[in-house]
Amino acid sequence: MSQDVIGILSDSHGDLAAFDAAYELLRGKGAQRFIFLGGRYSDLDEWILDRRERSRGGREYSGADFIEDVARWLAVTEQRPRPRSLSIPDDVLKELEDDPMLVREHFLRTPERDSIQYRDPSIPRKVLDMVGESLVCLVHDKNDLTRDDLVNAILFIHGKESEPKLVQIGPRYFMSPGRLAGAAEQTCALLEREDRDLRFSAFRLDGKVVLEPQALVVDRRSKLSVK
């Protein structure tokens, strides 16, 4: 039996405390890999640095810390290939829990229009990946989707929504986790897969369910139907 649990975060806009709370909540619900849809692209990097500083007890980052980080990174990357998708081998999960510097490698993220990364040609505005047998397209603003995107992908995960949403248009589904900042409720979401079955749900940062798990099934023609 094949299983995946994916945590989805968006629109943190500098609120690193909310970012951290969402990450811990989703990890506590079994998420092993994560999607960050922007809303301030650099928040992921700043959150990683903040967790790293807290892991040192607030002590200033030193040259010895840098050497230790590089040595740890090399030791891990030499033992396994760099992931090409969201998947994380089970034997790496404990390392991710203990070392904030390794978490970034297992996030997929997309930039928002007003970020400098959005104008950087080396950074994709949309990210394509697979969830089971279904192609998923990740984007901050769904208005950036093109006709080709809509033809090729079956699942779309986007930000820039004030609340969590799951919308079906034909055989395709559009999912948003809501916002971590600037909305009435700070929310995040889970996309869970067990074999071909998919479930999407969303939560406030205190753990309260705001969107009950909705089950989807991918048929052999890669179309989705509500279960």
Q: What is the pLDDT of residue 53?
A: 83
Query: Per-residue pLDDT tens for 73-117?
Result: 555 455 444 444 445 455 444 544 556 567 777 899 999 999 999
Going along the chain from its start, the domains and CATH numbers come out as 3-40+108-226 (3.60.21.10)
Q: Please name every residue paired with 199 in a beta bridge, in sequence order, or none if there are none.
A: 192, 215
Paired residues of 201 in beta bridges: 190
pLDDT, position 101: 62
Residue-level pLDDT at 100? 59
**pLDDT at site 82:** 44
Model confidence pLDDT, tens digit, residues 186-200: 999 999 998 878 999
Q: pTM score, two decimals?
A: 0.80
* 75-84, 159-168, 203-212: the lowest-pLDDT one: 75-84
